[in-house]
Amino acid sequence: NLVGTQMVVKGLDFDNLDLVGILDEDALLQYAAFRVNERAYQLMEQVSGRAGRKDGLGKVMVQVSNLKHPVLQFVQQHNYQALYQFEIENRQQFHYPPFTRLIQVVFKHKDKHIAEEAANIMQQGLSNLFGAYLNGPSQPIVDRIRNQYIWEILLKLPKDSQTVNNCKRAIHQQMVLIQSNKRYRSVHIIPNTDPIY
């Protein structure tokens, strides 16, 4: 018997391993990030490559509650092309890369309400020019790290350098404005262009 984490998929070679189980894959498939299907597919494909390496006869068991999730079907068929087609259509429909540029603005503070207020001020300040591209503010799934509460704004901008640069300038101006207010001076505001999720 062998129990491991995702490290098991990182190219390790185990003799006589003919059954691999992936527990609670729903936790990954339901994660709120636009690259989640791609990552889940990659993980399951890599894990399936660990089983049966010696004689080619291996089994992979995946624990999920949604048996009809498209990614599971793509993995069963080892069909990366179908995954790609599914993903590219969804990303175009919901305005994610490669069709857009993303700017994420993160707000951190020890007081949840102060972080939220600062995020709302930023959202209001950007809404006149960039309202069509704005999402949030909202809290991420992990909304507190090291006693700092987190709020986020996400902008899905057209792939136009002038629009992106104008938005960056507007974010910087809003940051200066927010932090000139004594109440929000200690809020950490972190803009991130094309964040990796």
Terminal Cα distance for the chain, rounded: 33
Per-residue model confidence as pLDDT tens for the chain (197 residues): 455 555 555 555 556 666 777 777 777 777 778 888 998 888 888 777 665 555 566 777 777 777 888 998 998 888 999 999 999 999 999 999 999 999 999 999 999 999 999 999 999 999 999 999 999 999 998 899 999 999 999 999 999 999 999 999 999 999 999 999 999 999 999 999 998 76
125, with CB counted inside 10 A (0-12, 13-18, 19+), is middle
* pLDDT score, position 128: 94
* pLDDT score, position 3: 55
Q: And the tokens for 15? A: 């003799």
Q: What is the DSSP letter of 182?
A: G
- Do 187 and 114 contact (CB within 8 A), yes or no? yes
Using CA atoms, how far apart are residues 74 and 104, in angstroms rounded to an integer?
30
β-bridge pairing 144-145 and 148-158: antiparallel
3-state helix, strand, coil in the chain (%, to 5): 45, 20, 35
pTM: 0.78
Using CA atoms, how far apart are residues 33 and 46, in angstroms rounded to an integer?
20
* pLDDT score, position 1: 45
